[in-house]
Chains A and B, each alone.
Chain A
Amino acid sequence: MSAYTAFVRSGFLTSLAYRNEVWANIFGKLVQVFARVAIWLAVYAGVTAVDRISIGDMITYALLGGVVMGATRYDRIIRHVGTALKTGDVAVWLLKPVHYPLYLLSIEAGASAYTFLLAVVPTIVIVALVYGMHPPASLFHGVMFVAYCGLSFIIHFLCAAIFGVLAFWLMTIFSLEWLLQSLISLLSGLLIPFWFFPEPFGSIASHQPLAWLVYYPSAVWLGRLDIMQTLLYFGFGIAWAGLLTLTLTLLWRRAASRITVQGG
């Protein structure tokens, strides 16, 4: 266990070494969050509420999307696997007394913690000060938002790791990264919450695992789910995480048994 704690620390400290990149990322994220808020202000165009969702709710939703999606990077996880495959480092990891997917999780946890503290929090504070942001609907919703954020990180990591491991068969990560990007942009609720989707697409989208990345954490904060629904959907999210963990474990076992080392 101490090895994985060291990997978390390593992920954090590695990010610390590239400070210019972090500042550039803060700036890039700031622009994107401002843009998302600007889009909602433009579509509402003076209307106070659409389908009982106020413009204030949507600004808060846009900011929360930045909070839950700002730190973890699926592309970093997929590229990590891709580089290990290309250079042959993955063979070295198989010899070590550590589980490679858990190593990836630890490194990503460290890097995400760094980005969250130094990039995401300042960005959100600045935008919230400019536009204003609703507090959580209740103390219960605030606490559950934190729990949903943890679940969001786990599901985000599992999806990215599954796509990364698929590179063992496809021998390319490029298409996998782009495919996951398209799925996340549309099906996580990052750009448009599912309550604005036409039916039955909204209902379908809100029951697939990527919905737990942005849609549910933000919906919980805004109080769109009552106490029972919040707990029920948290349970569904845990079930999805379990299923994804099982998928990753099986895929990793098969990948490790058919590995072809190209580099060295």
Chain B
Amino acid sequence: MRRTLGTLLLLVSMYIKSQMEYRGAFWLDRLAQIVSYGAVLLGMWILLQKFQLLGGWNWPELALLFSFQLLAYALGASVSFTQLRNLDDLVRLGTLDALLTKPINTWAYLIFSGLNIGYAGHIILAIPVLVWALLAAQVSWSIGTALFFVGSLLSAMSVTGAVITMIGATAMIWVRSNHLFAIFFGFWELTRYPLNIFPAGIQAVMLTIVPLAYISAVPVAVLLDKPVPLLGDFAWLAALLAGPLLTLIAIAHWRYAMSRYQGAGG
């Protein structure tokens, strides 16, 4: 166990070192991401200057929703997205076969050998906006609220990682699964907005089949004491349990996909 942990740490440090070899390009990329998400936030601000409310949410509340979503996504995707998006290529080219022969857990190797520190840009933007929004949105703080905030953020991060893992692992069954990310990001963009503004069908999908509402809309609505469609009084519990439950499902799906893998490259 200790040896495995040492190996994983070594993989992480090697990857970070390789990324930081091109320090200028690395920070330029982060700046570009900050500008890009900043533009989305600015767009929301312009809209709220004109209309004041979006589905009953004001500007600080929407900024809280945006920053919570960005932070949860960055934390979850850094341990899943780029690594598992590449799994599609590894399967197609047959490179995965070589990884399977390594004396280390394949998932752990994939994740830690490509731990994406590139999400630093998301985090650099998300944290100050989140702090400002938490102060401005008038959250009624208590020990319970604080614990819920931390717990729901961890849960949201797990939801992101679990859903991306399931999409990535599907490549071991279908060979190609990257197109599913187009659907993922279609729904992911909706998580910047309150759930109650969408038609009932989309609400139901985002709480069940594509459970991305737990990344932001559900936990932030609970924090702000706003009603959550379909979940009602159970929203806080669902927000906390979604992460652990989806992680278990993702583990089962990964194992199933590994058992179905037959190789596609040559």
Name the one of A23, A25, A39, A198 contacting B46, with C-beta atoms under 8 angstroms: A198
B202 x A31 contact (CB < 8 A)? yes
A28 x B53 contact (CB < 8 A)? no
Q: Does B6 contact A (CB under 8 A)?
A: no
Contact stretch, chosen from B142-150, B186-194, B242-250: B186-194
Nearest chain B CB to A114 CB, angstrom units: 15
* Cα of A88 to Cα of B260 in the assembled complex, Å: 37
* Cα of A39 to Cα of B47 in the assembled complex, Å: 10
> A146-173 CB contact bits vs B (8 Å, 1 = yes)?
0000000000000000000000001110
* Cα of A23 to Cα of B193 in the assembled complex, Å: 25
CB-based nearest B residue for A187? B39
Q: Does B135 contact A (CB under 8 A)?
A: no
Q: Which of A28, A30, A38, A170 is the most central at the interface, judged by chain B CB atoms within 10 Å of its CB?
A: A28
**How many A residues are at the interface, by size bracket?**
35 or more
Find chain A residues with CB under 8 A from B198 CB.
34-35, 38
CB within 8 Å of A: which B46-70 residues: 46-47, 49-51, 53-55
B32 x A178 contact (CB < 8 A)? yes
Name the one of A34, A42, A196 contacting B55, with C-beta atoms under 8 angstroms: A42
Find chain B residues with CB under 8 A from A175 CB.
25, 28-29, 31-32
A196 x B50 contact (CB < 8 A)? yes
Find chain B residues with CB under 8 A from A182 CB.
32, 35-40
Interface size on B, residues (CB 8 A): 40
B185 x A28 contact (CB < 8 A)? yes
Q: Does A238 contact B (CB under 8 A)?
A: no
B25 x A186 contact (CB < 8 A)? no
Find chain B residues with CB under 8 A from A177 CB.
32
Q: Does B103 contact A (CB under 8 A)?
A: no
Asked whether A192 and B186 contact (CB < 8 A) given A45-B53, A178-B29, A178-B32, the answer is no
A24 x B180 contact (CB < 8 A)? yes
CB within 8 Å of A: which B180-207 residues: 180, 182-183, 185-187, 189-190, 193-194, 197-199, 202
Find chain B residues with CB under 8 A from A41 CB.
197
CB within 8 Å of B: which A56-110 residues: none
Q: Which of B28, B53, B55, B182 is the most central at the interface, judged by chain A CB atoms within 10 Å of its CB?
A: B182
B183 x A198 contact (CB < 8 A)? no
Find chain A residues with CB under 8 A from B49 CB.
198
A27 x B182 contact (CB < 8 A)? yes
A179 x B35 contact (CB < 8 A)? yes
Q: Does A129 contact B (CB under 8 A)?
A: no
CB within 8 Å of B: which A25-61 residues: 25, 27-32, 34-35, 38-39, 41-45, 50
Nearest chain A CB to B116 CB, angstrom units: 12
Find chain A residues with CB under 8 A from B39 CB.
182-183, 185-186
Asked whether A174 and B47 contact (CB < 8 A) given A32-B186, A35-B189, A45-B53, the answer is no
Nearest chain A CB to B246 CB, angstrom units: 20
Asked whether A197 and B35 contact (CB < 8 A) given A28-B182, A38-B199, A39-B54, the answer is no
A174 x B29 contact (CB < 8 A)? yes
Q: Does B33 contact A (CB under 8 A)?
A: yes
Q: Does A181 contact B (CB under 8 A)?
A: yes
Find chain A residues with CB under 8 A from B28 CB.
170, 172, 175
Find chain A residues with CB under 8 A from B265 CB.
none
Q: Does B20 contact A (CB under 8 A)?
A: no
Q: Does A255 contact B (CB under 8 A)?
A: no
Asked whether A43 and B46 contact (CB < 8 A) given A31-B202, A172-B29, A182-B36, the answer is no
Extra 6 A-B pairs, beta carbons < 8 Å, given A171-B25, A175-B29:
A31-B183, A35-B190, A38-B193, A42-B194, A172-B28, A196-B47
